A and B are shown apart, each in its own frame.
Chain A
Amino acid sequence: MLDTNAFDLRKYLQGNGQSVGVWIALVVVVLFGAMRYDNFTGAYNISSFLNYNSMFIAIALGMCFVIMTGGIDLSVGSVVAFTSVCVAYLSPYGIQVALPGGILAGMAIGSINAFFVIKMRIPPFIATLATMLGAKGGALVIAGRQTISVDWTSNFTKFGMENVGGLLPWSIISVAILAVGLWIVLERTSIGRTVEAIGGGEDATRMMGLPVDRAKAFVYILSGGCAGLAGVILASGFGAGQPLEGVGWELSAIASVVVGGTLLTGGMGSVPATVAGALLLGLVFNILNFENGRGVISISAYWQMVVRGMFLFVVILLQARVSRATKKQGV
């Protein structure tokens, strides 16, 4: 190749053909929004958009790792609700206690998932369905079936509300650090490589002497911890522990992962593409809100869901096409 840049792009496409669709769609949607709406690229919209969606990015990242092993974690939505209640109770002690506390609470439920899946050999779908119901019940019990207001006098709410350097809140920065960290884990560590190998073939992976059980435990505990972080963001950003929140979030997370090009059967996945997938799904809502704000048409929440479903479908179709095209050129 004469042009080295072109060569690198081609190389990237060969390895990541599946996730090209999501990047194209993301660029198109952002350009569309920026040109059509005045405040779309304004600091307020960007900050509040990212703040809300940082929770979805966090759980999508954990889900991505679970799915790469060929598993699934249905409990994340409930874990968000559960930990948001837990940290609401912890909020008087400040964020320095509540943040690790919330993450640990999530990891505890993740450990239960790991135990059921690895030691008891219960299929992930069933095991995490059980903890989904359990965590939801637990959240309602400890919250006494009501929203638990956080302590506004401690520094707890600053985590989700105060902008660092007047720009972005800590919640977004913490999720960004999480994403970068997980990217390194996946691309550069042996446990990340093992996670991908398990999805490709568990027996083969065991045969190669890789620690299959340890890697599986890692992904479920990670997913719980990510949901725990999302719970902290929820309570701190909205000022309350919310036992009824998080319904259906696990499906949003799965959708983000799939839109990001990760195979549901496992074996391959990408951290940046998963983040892009989560952002894309969030942007579709954001744009619909702006469209409603123009006052020309009014799309109800129900129709928004329909539109989002259709959009998902288009992105996945696009993805299949692009990846097929790159495969043809690839070799």
Chain B
Amino acid sequence: MQPLLRMQGINKSFAGVAALTSAELEIAPGEVHAVIGQNGAGKSTLIKILTGVYRKDSGDIEFEGNPLNAQSPREAQDAGIATIYQELSLVPLRSVTENVIMGYEPRNKLGLVDWKAAHTRSREILAGFGITIDVTQPLGSYSTAIQQLTAIARAVSLNARLVIMDEPTSSLDDREVETLFGVVRALKDKGVSVIYISHFLDELFHICDRATIMRDGQTVAVREIAESTKLSLIADMLGRDPEEIAAAGMTDLGGGVRETGELLLEAKDLKTDRNLRDVSVSVHKGEIVGLGGLLGSGRTEAARAIFAMDKLRNGFVRTTARPNGFSDPADAIRSGIGFLTEDRKAEGIVPEMTVRENMTLALLPKLIKNGAIDRERETEIVEKFVKALGIKLASIEQPIRELSGGNQQKVLLARWLALEPDLLILDEPTRGVDVGAKFEIQSIIREYVEKGVGVLLISSEFEELVEGADRIVVLQEGTSVTELQNPGITEESLIGAIAQSHDGATA
């Protein structure tokens, strides 16, 4: 059968760095097709080229047998490719009808909008997806799921032949996900194709026909979902041998418990409103505990819960000093916890402030002498850490934004080390820094652990976890499912645990 979409030999680089190297994607008519891959595999770049957000450097795109070279999202839309974004581009204060038919309103003889016909038409369109709601109400009065479905309905009513859904279920609850799946199936029945991007692999087995797997900017495999297992898909994503992973995963589960030092912090049955369902983890003195899992498994969410940034719905966090947990981040910091966040730009640095000011922000309460900041001690501490961590800068009075990523990260690490914490939560401490800085940051962490600091380490790099952590708590969909013990953890056994432990049926 003639494919609906064929992308071939797509190349794209950003500032000389290749993001896509002869990537391919082929979508059959009426098929639900998953595109999966690790962060940075090139999924979103490929999709953005298709939808006209980026220009490709070279390669061919054919849509319905004709060459397509969308220069803007609008052109892709006119060609019949609709994208449903996570942040919806609808108008929540206007009625459902207005959102569905905006720009294509039926007119009466006087050229005015015929509202009666408009409401009927939008009711028909939505009914086609099994949604019956009062279309005269503002769209914003309905749930996110309904809003998303309205966006899909609008796209299809505008004659889309290919609908792209980017992480459509990330903000939906279980029942809403079912409704969404119903709509995807309805699209399929209408002969509309769907590109489905999700990091929840379980979902693919429910609704997808095939999956294109990407890795390092290349298309590495196209699989029939019916003939795949979660394990085999993960193996494809990571470029490993599935049998090796399976074997390693079986042998290394449930090792003995080796306790290092006294218990620093215990978190049990944590549940929050942010995709965290049931996570338990404990950290001892002089121990690195890793949180392993795929994107969206709840690693960062678990750290946020421990640090009292999100409200606990269930479970508890306790330390010797705080048997009832922390009331807010300031309280956690006072009890000797530091949290190096994953998002350096949004939650870490204050770009216009100097290196000195950035480094001592969390330390400020301890730097006050007679009501004022003790600048001498401040400078002394900053210079000590600049030297100890090998931070490269022109002056400590330089705005931090002028530093390289690796050096910014070292400043942020110093911010927490200066507090002399008992426990450090490190979320992706080496993301986006060069290899040299990465090695340096890792050895700094090691050094502090040997002095007795406990570390909760979150990393998407399996190598970093396997080599760094004494224990790894494996998370899946917001639940801690198993724990691996070093020595003895290999990347394969970790991947095996991530893929299998929750998933006896498909593995």
Contacts and interface: CB of A to CB of B under 8 A. Distances in A.
Given A211-B330, A330-B398, A193 B357 contact: yes
A209 B347 contact: no
A267 B332 CA distance: 25
Nearest to B333: A209
A6 to B, nearest CB: 14
B347 A203 contact: yes
Contact of B352 (A194, A211, A268): A268
B352 A267 contact: yes
A331 B373 contact: no
A208 B357 CA distance: 13
Contacts of B73: none
Interface in A310-331: 327, 330-331
Interface stretch (A71-79, A183-191, A237-245): A183-191
A301 B397 CA distance: 44
A188 B375 CA distance: 7
Interface string B388-412: 0000001101110010000000000
Between A197, A207, A209, the greatest number of chain B beta carbons within 10 A of the residue's beta carbon is seen for A209
Between B307, B333, B365, B395, the greatest number of chain A beta carbons within 10 A of the residue's beta carbon is seen for B395
Contacts of B486: none
Place the interface of chain A in its size category. 20 to 34
Contacts of B309: 207
Contact of B353 (A11, A196, A203, A327): A196
B329 interface: yes
A210 interface: yes
Interface in A44-95: none
Contact of B373 (A11, A190, A205): A190
A134 interface: no
Interface in B354-382: 354, 357, 361-362, 364-365, 367-368, 371-373, 375
Given A201-B347, A204-B346, A268-B353, A209 B368 contact: no
B364 A196 contact: no
Contacts of A11: 395, 397
Nearest to B356: A15
A272 interface: no
A204 B347 contact: yes
Contacts of A211: 330
Nearest to A269: B352
Interface in A203-237: 203-211
Contacts of B351: 200, 267
A189 B372 contact: yes
Nearest to B402: A331
A206 B357 contact: no
Given A204-B346, A207-B347, A208-B362, A193 B330 contact: no
B397 A15 contact: yes
A197 B346 CA distance: 12
B385 interface: no
Interface string B328-354: 111111100001010000111111111
Interface string A172-202: 0000000000001000111001101101110
B336 to A, nearest CB: 12
B339 A330 contact: no
A213 to B, nearest CB: 11
Given A194-B364, A208-B361, A208-B362, A331 B394 contact: yes
Contacts of B350: 196-197, 200-201, 204-205, 267
Contacts of A208: 329, 333, 361-362, 415
A140 interface: no
Nearest to A10: B395
Interface string A257-278: 0000001000110000000000
A41 B333 CA distance: 55
Nearest to A198: B350
Given A200-B351, A263-B352, A267-B352, A189 B371 contact: yes
Contact of B402 (A189, A203, A206, A330): A330
A14 interface: yes
Q: What secondary structure prevails in chain A residues at the interface with B?
A: helix
Given A197-B361, A206-B329, A209-B334, A190 B397 contact: no
Nearest to B366: A190
B395 A14 contact: yes
A184 B399 CA distance: 20
Contacts of B415: 208
Nearest to B362: A208
Nearest to B365: A190
A14 B330 contact: no
Contact of B367 (A190, A200, A268): A190
Contacts of B334: 209
Interface in A16-34: none
Contacts of B399: 14-15
B373 A189 contact: yes
Nearest to A263: B352
A183 to B, nearest CB: 12
Contacts of B346: 201, 203-204
A211 B334 CA distance: 13
A210 B371 CA distance: 16
A209 B334 CA distance: 8
A203 B354 CA distance: 19
A239 to B, nearest CB: 38
Contact of B354 (A15, A263, A330): A15
A184 B397 contact: no
A2 to B, nearest CB: 17
A284 B33 CA distance: 67
Between A189, A201, A207, A211, the greatest number of chain B beta carbons within 10 A of the residue's beta carbon is seen for A207
A227 B334 CA distance: 37
Contacts of A197: 350, 353, 357, 361
A204 B344 CA distance: 9
B361 A210 contact: yes
B427 to A, nearest CB: 11
B398 A200 contact: no
Nearest to A184: B372
B415 to A, nearest CB: 8
Contacts of A207: 307, 309, 329, 339, 341, 347
Contacts of B398: 14-15, 330-331
B305 to A, nearest CB: 14
Interface string B165-201: 0000000000000000000000000000000000000
Given A193-B364, A204-B346, A188 B373 contact: yes
Contacts of B349: 200-201, 204
Contacts of A196: 350, 352-353, 357
A259 to B, nearest CB: 18
A143 B309 CA distance: 49
B360 to A, nearest CB: 8
15 contacts: A11-B397, A188-B372, A193-B373, A196-B352, A200-B349, A203-B346, A207-B329, A207-B339, A209-B331, A209-B334, A209-B365, A210-B361, A330-B398, A331-B394, A331-B402
| 9 shortest interchain CB distances as A-B pairs | A200-B350, A209-B330, A209-B333, A268-B352, A188-B372, A190-B364, A208-B362, A267-B352, A15-B397
Interface of B: 307, 309, 328-334, 339, 341, 346-354, 357, 361-362, 364-365, 367-368, 371-373, 375, 394-395, 397-399, 402, 415
Given A15-B354, A190-B368, 11 more contacts: A11-B395, A14-B394, A188-B372, A197-B350, A200-B352, A204-B341, A208-B361, A209-B328, A210-B364, A330-B394, A330-B402
